[in-house]
Structure 1
Amino acid sequence: MRTRTLRRAGLIAVATGAVATLAACSSTPAASVDDGAETPAATLAGPRIAVAYEGGILVLDGETLEPVADLDSEAFTRLNPAGDGRHVMVTMSEGFQVLDTAAGSADEPELTELIFAADTPGHVVRHGGKTILYADGTSDTTIFDTGALLTGDGELPETETVPGVEAHHGVSVVLEDGTFLTTVGNADGRTGISATDAAGAVIATSDACPGVHGEGTAADEAVVFGCEDGALLYRDGEILKLDAPDQPYGRMGNAYVSETSPLVVGDYKNDPDAEGYLLGAVTVIDTETGTLEVVDLPEGVEYTFRDIARGPEDLAYILSSDGSIHVFDPAAGEITDAYPVIDAWEGPAEWQDAHPAIVVVGDIAYVTEPAADAIHAVDLTTGEVLTSTTLDVTPNELAAAAG
């Protein structure tokens, strides 16, 4: 039985050396007046896009794509939305550092001094009003109310910590009724998942998921975890193993979900010895029927883990190495449209290397083009490229704050 520790997270001060260089943007407060008239209300910023580059993070205006802040960071950082429409979690050596993009406010962006301490910070999950942080070095899970950073007054919110058992690269999910799902593994490998109720009592376990990696929560809180030979589906207190058509190796490692759709789109690889990171097939998991299907993409349509996002009408949008966003209908299991956006590109030599990425806010997709030091905004309902901007840096990781 697991134990949970409730504690007030301490504030960790770090010397970030963050320097915000603000351009004229919609987040600039209105100038004060001294003639006795009422001061105009400050204009609130819209969406913001965080772009990591080597040694820094740019914060862009989501409408113009113009930089509004340039912040110092470590050489390589990963970015994950905190889930509150404003903050982004930055994986740093000391833990998850909070980036305030100032989306939806009249404030200035800053890489704050707030850090959720973690030994080897890994996955960030947002679901059911909770943000869940996983530390690979200890397998501890830190949980806090997603909206708490908005009212924290410069302090970290109260957190709940579920101690890990054996350290591994893993992930945890908390459902609305308090059910806690977490991966199981150790330094020698990862084997499956465990589900416990809000009191810590075991509901279900499975060790039938070699190399378990990634997760996604679909409609009605059906949760999928990827395996090297298929996937695990947790639904209504039970765990169901979904076998890949290729055995013993048919790996799904990342799940791309919409919480209003029962259909999960996952990446797929059936050759453990294949070189590079480009993939040419996807999985479609129907969480209602408990089925897994592999769909081969058309020739020339290949992608990496950074290149699939869910968007309008619960469709999947695949940024392919041919430079187009391919619209994938998971219900039909086929590509229905393609929108040219960037030049054709080759897969990265290492997964950390800068290569094109896509994130979606509403109907708008944001696409990076590292070869051109550029970023583009695309209307996914029409395929029109709305805005393109050339940056002074090479974009790598990408995260959006909707405001």
Structure 2
Amino acid sequence: MKIRRVPVLLATLVALASSACAASDPRRPEAGSGTPAEPTDTPSAAAGTEVASAAPRLAVTHDGGVSVVDARTGEVLAEEALEGYLRVSPAGDGRHALVSTTGGWEVLDLGSWTDEHGDHGHHWTSTPGLTGARFEAAEPGHVVAHDGLTTLFDDGTGTITSFDTTALGSDGPEVTTTSTEEAHHGVAVRLANGNLLTTDGDEESRSGVRLLGPSGVVMAQTDACPGVHGEAFAQDVAVLGCEDGAVVVDGREITKVTSPDPYGRIGNQAGSEVSPILLGDYKTDPDAELERPTRVSLIDTRTGTLRLVDLGTSYSFRSLGRGPDGEALVLGTDGALHVLDERTGAVERRIDVVGRWKEPLDWQQPRPTLHVVGTTAYVTEPRRDRLHVVDLDRGRVTSTLDLPHTPDEVVANAG
């Protein structure tokens, strides 16, 4: 595995005008070439305006583009047109999001952030919108922000790109690129100590997990994770899902946690910085066109044990989240947000949020989606073109925002 460290401006390239023009601009350097384009005057570089309080904002994808919305008032602050099926992920710095689109990840500035100064913070806003910067990819896949680093995985080539998260809005982070031996639907995360955790597989199958040192030397590995998919951290311990359980990566030690069923797939996870227990989905029918499970999994990374909890309602892969104290959150098709004690599996309360819904067969079709920031949960309701704001401390919906488009994926910041 070859590793390159390349100083670039914001990404593997920066668009010279709009992202649409950049797609055919012959002056644009090849991804990873180390030749940065000229700087542009983007929202990320513009000076902000200090405001009296935090201004939380939302990035909401829809058919035809992405909107930036004021999370308090519902005012649409920016509309960006983008083609293709769009996905959105937090960049990890509390200000930017990465939008997966044709040809790579576009950098979206939400235009609000807070500079912390010990016992207080200074709140800032600026004009939101696409910055013109993008990370090129044949098939942009998973985005992982952890330990102050952001790592991108290109399913089409196996290329892994990582950079200092806090440098995203500056003159340009140093980008580290490497690649897996074969392209596959994978995930990777660069750690603060320079190590790289990555999946291993090919277009036909994937079952490997590797921990590589800064020079690319294999420090630990396993091939005992069939269908490896997804990643999340329980405190500082990584967990990756398998079709028969999960693997836990703690330091240089990789431990297999086996499902109680021969096929017990965990493919989507939600971790917490304050809890050693990971929340995951759980499916048992390998032949189902679409399985609608009612059980979730709780993996204790300290003991390597797995607990199953039956909610009595199904959910989707966009239903999992974590509360500020590590509580497990699951948005059910019964319309309620189920709050679980992750240590015991007990359902502590149900918060009614949306109407009853059914998961569509096509995974790219909108369905109610959960995104959590601190003590606030944001839940979309595509059937009504709405988004609900839930106060987790008070256990109720505090506001409902009407949206101009049918929402698909959503990412929020704290402002």
Scaled by the length of structure 2, the TM-score of the pair is 0.87
The structure 1 segments of at least 4 consecutive aligned residues displaced by more than 3 Å after TM superposition are: 12-18, 41-45
CA contact (8 A) 2:88 2:411 kept: yes
CA contact (8 A) 2:68 2:129 kept: no
- CA distance in 2 between counterparts of 1:72 and 1:128 reads 32
- CA distance in 2 between counterparts of 1:293 and 1:386 reads 33
> 133, 136, 143: which is aligned to 1:124?
143
CA contact (8 A) 2:161 2:175 kept: yes
- CA distance in 2 between counterparts of 1:214 and 1:380 reads 26
Question: What number of residue pairs does the alignment pair up?
Answer: 376
CA contact (8 A) 1:277 1:348 kept: no
Matched with 1:6 is 5
Matched with 1:390 is 402
- CA distance in 1 between counterparts of 2:146 and 2:266 reads 21
- CA distance in 1 between counterparts of 2:103 and 2:248 reads 33
Matched with 1:165 is 181
Matched with 1:203 is 219
Report deviation, 1:228: 0.5
Matched with 1:22 is none
CA contact (8 A) 2:19 2:133 kept: no
Matched with 1:326 is 338
Secondary structure at the counterpart of residue 193 of structure 1: strand
Give the counterpart letter for 1:238 in structure 2.
E
- CA distance in 2 between counterparts of 1:194 and 1:269 reads 25
- CA distance in 1 between counterparts of 2:152 and 2:406 reads 28
Give the counterpart letter for 2:76 in structure 1.
P
CA shift digits 1:216-244 (9 cap, x unpaired): 1112x211110001111111311111110
Report deviation, 1:268: 0.6
Report deviation, 1:16: 4.3
Report deviation, 1:62: 1.9
Give the counterpart letter for 2:108 in structure 1.
L
- CA distance in 2 between counterparts of 1:375 and 1:384 reads 14
CA contact (8 A) 2:274 2:325 kept: no
- CA distance in 1 between counterparts of 2:142 and 2:393 reads 30
State yes or no: 1:378 paired with 2:381.
no
Give the counterpart letter for 1:345 in structure 2.
W
CA contact (8 A) 1:277 1:304 kept: no
Matched with 1:345 is 357
CA contact (8 A) 1:139 1:168 kept: yes
Report deviation, 1:334: 2.0
- CA distance in 2 between counterparts of 1:360 and 1:245 reads 30
Report deviation, 1:168: 0.1
Secondary structure at the counterpart of residue 307 of structure 1: strand
Q: Pick the structure with more strand per residue.
A: 2
Matched with 1:37 is none
> 223, 239, 242: which is aligned to 1:227?
242
- CA distance in 1 between counterparts of 2:181 and 2:87 reads 25
State yes or no: 1:401 paired with 2:394.
no
> 126, 137, 152: which is aligned to 1:133?
152
- CA distance in 2 between counterparts of 1:165 and 1:284 reads 32
Which stretch of the first structure deviates more once superposed, 4-13 or 380-389? Answer: 4-13
Secondary structure at the counterpart of residue 169 of structure 2: helix
- CA distance in 1 between counterparts of 2:238 and 2:17 reads 36
Structure 1 portions without partners, runs of 5+ = 19-27, 31-40
Matched with 1:76 is 85
Report deviation, 1:150: 2.6
Give the counterpart letter for 2:2 in structure 1.
T
CA contact (8 A) 2:84 2:101 kept: no
- CA distance in 1 between counterparts of 2:20 and 2:224 reads 46
The root-mean-square deviation of aligned C-alpha atoms, in Å, is 1.9
Matched with 2:377 is 365
- CA distance in 1 between counterparts of 2:17 and 2:155 reads 21
Report deviation, 1:392: 2.0
CA contact (8 A) 1:43 1:106 kept: no
CA contact (8 A) 2:84 2:102 kept: no
Give the counterpart letter for 2:330 in structure 1.
I
CA shift digits 1:30-58 (9 cap, x unpaired): 8xxxxxxxxxx666761111110000111
CA shift digits 1:119-176 (9 cap, x unpaired): 1000000110100000001111100000011323xxx532000122100000001222
CA contact (8 A) 1:6 1:161 kept: yes
State yes or no: 1:281 paired with 2:284.
no
- CA distance in 2 between counterparts of 1:169 and 1:91 reads 15
